[in-house]
Amino acid sequence: MEKRLERLGASKVLLEAPNGLKRTMLNLAEMLSSTGREVVLSAGRCHGGCDVAFEEAKAVGADAVVHMGHTRMVRQQPIPAIYLECRYTDPSPLLIALEEALPLLKSCRRIGLGVTVQWLDFTDVVQDFFRERGLTTTLGSSRRNADNRCQVLGCEYSALEGIKEKVDCLLVIGSVFHGLGAALSMNLRTIALEPLSQRVEEMGQLRETVLRQRYASITRFQEAHRVGVIVSTKTGQRRPRLATRAASLLRRQGRAAFQVTADEVTESALAELGFDGYVNTACPRVSIEDGPLFSAPLLLPSELLISLGFLRWEELINKGLLLDMNPREMASK
């Protein structure tokens, strides 16, 4: 990292990290400041590689951002960013958790593997573990934002899409959050494994709960006349063309639709606006995890198409709830 900062000529650096790594960020700040650099620490929330503090860096005059805990998602960066993935070095918790997972995997001869960035160094260890027990694992390659083989992100599971016909079930190593995302995206039996907490959970029941909540939100949205279409100000989540198209589709159906900008999409930030419903073009996991907390339905763009009659619910389930819609697809409706 030091050599990369030298090549960038960075004399002032902004550090950012998600919760859980902020204390480590302070240690890194002390190390970097000892080299004569001015270091600024971001206390803001950080949700992923899509959520890089470029605007904060501009505001304080930083020459570079050091982003901890995630891989690169933003390809066009207004300020150079260095990504420290913070991978684990000890596979012991993972091996213990894999033993705990075996009873759930006994009916799966062919396992599709999805892994968060922190555990990617141990994919060979996982494959050897299952090979010794007569099970095979298949690793796919990302076709979108993830940089590594078999890597999953909270909003992207394309590494699993290419192998879903070749496996009996999915094992997602990292968190239940990522396991749920895979289950919603793949429509395939999914087991989530959290090595540090030793939590192993099949996602079927949680998946069904979320699907019921999403269908209920779509039903409630049918009565929404005034609709806010949310446009994120975060660089990696900003999709203004998609928001413009969504608003246009709504107006064609006689709704009063307005775009709404937001950095953090929360009930408290939106409630006073008084909309009857929202279309969320920012992080899709906000609708899934936090949707029940909102007083008005918070639809994904794909769910909007169901509400407007352009897509059937069964089609979306087969394609995956986290189906990524682009402006061209929306424009064809």
Cα 241 to chain centroid, rounded: 20
Per-residue pLDDT of the chain (333 residues), as tens digits, is: 888 888 888 999 999 999 989 989 999 999 999 999 999 999 998 989 999 999 999 999 999 999 999 998 888 889 999 999 999 999 999 999 999 999 999 889 999 999 999 999 999 999 999 999 999 999 998 877 777 899 999 999 999 998 999 999 999 999 999 999 999 998 899 999 999 999 999 999 999 999 999 999 999 999 999 999 999 999 899 999 999 999 999 999 999 999 999 999 999 999 999 999 999 999 999 999 999 999 999 999 999 999 999 999 999 999 899 877 665 666 666
Beta strands, E only, the chain? 12-16, 38-41, 64-68, 81-84, 110-115, 136-139, 169-173, 190-194, 199-202, 226-232, 256-262, 277-280, 298-299
What is the Cα–Cα distance from 239 to 231, expressed in whole angstroms?
6
What is the Cα–Cα distance from 312 to 320, expressed in whole angstroms?
12
Name all domains of the chain by residue range, CATH numbers in brackets: 2-84 (3.40.50.11840), 92-202 (3.40.50.11850), 207-331 (3.40.50.11860)
Query: How many degrees, rounded to 5, is the angle at CA 91 between CA 86 and CA 95?
Result: 140
C-alpha distance from residue 130 to each of 111, 195, 314 (Å): 9, 16, 34
Query: How many degrees, rounded to 5, is the angle at CA 179 between CA 212 and CA 326?
Result: 70
What is the Cα–Cα distance from 64 to 166, expressed in whole angstroms?
43
Dihedral angle sign, alpha carbons of residues 303, 308, 314, 320: negative
pTM for the whole structure: 0.92
C-alpha distance from residue 50 to each of 13, 68, 218, 236, 237 (Å): 19, 12, 26, 4, 6
